[in-house]
Amino acid sequence: MHKFVAIVGTNSDNSTNRKLLQFMQKHFAAQADIELVEIKGLPLFNKPENKQVPAAAQAIADKIDQADGVIISTPEYDHSAPAVLMNALEWLSYYIHPLADKPVMIIGASYGALGTSRAQEHLRQILDSPELRARIMPSSEFLLGHSLQAFDDDGNMIDQTKLAKLAGLFSDFETFVELTKKLNHANEANREEIHDLDWANL
């Protein structure tokens, strides 16, 4: 069984992105062990001179290191991913590199009709940056619009068409994780290149 870390990409206490991940954790329990990880407790990234990341960021990095893959659920604010998620990714690329060559699935929920398409595109670009180098599952957007009405009182997804798409994408992600394990010839070189990046000049 795969082990996945699911990052709640917001600091909101009442987030439908958290509800979406909680639903996945329950619905796909027979397929994978999904652990939700919060990022709202991280301090503001300040590029510390001692090159030490906060204990909370290191704890997230350790969980990612031990996981087979990462699922990130992002809201969309002003056509982009939220600052709190960018803050977490900055810590996770500052002299630690848990996302390097790690399979990542991006999903998102929003109150409006369009879902989080722009935020997901923005997040893909960031995760593909030289400092992060995650392996993002291609052609896999899951956009949950009208998310306030998307779940019943028990937290179950109401729209069966949306659920069928999510189930298909989740199965594809499991396949993507296994395929990624075979794309390992440049892993060591990638990590060495990232390690050699000098944050002082970025």
| Residue ranges of domains in the chain | 2-201
At the topology level of CATH, where does 2-201 sit?
Rossmann fold (3.40.50)
pLDDT digits (tens, 9 = 90+) for 115-124: 888 999 999 9
Q: What is the pLDDT along the chain (202 residues), one digit of tens a residue?
A: 999 999 999 998 889 999 999 999 999 999 999 999 999 989 999 999 898 999 999 999 999 999 999 999 999 888 889 999 999 999 999 999 999 999 999 999 988 877 888 999 999 999 999 999 999 999 888 988 899 898 999 999 999 999 999 999 999 999 999 999 987 776 776 666 776 665 655 5
Q: Summarize pLDDT for 117-165 with one digit per residue, the tens.
A: 899 999 999 999 999 999 999 988 898 889 989 899 999 999 999 999 9
Q: Are 23 and 151 in contact (CB under 8 A)?
A: yes
Q: Residue for token digits 């709640």?
A: 8
Q: Provide φ and ψ at 21, rounded to 5°.
A: -70, -40
Kind of pairing between the strands at 103-109 and 32-38: unpaired
Q: Which helix (H) or strand (E) is 168 found in, with range?
A: helix 160-182
Q: Can you tell me the distance from the alpha carbon of 184 to that of 110, in angstroms, rounded to the nearest whole number?
A: 35
Instruction: State which amino acid sits at residue 70.
Output: V
Closest CA to 199 of 38, 52, 85, 61: 52
Q: How far apart are CA 111 and CA 153, in angstroms?
A: 17
Which residues are CB-neighbours of 22 under 8 A, at least 6 positions away? Answer: 36, 155
Query: Would the pTM count as exceeding 0.95?
Result: no
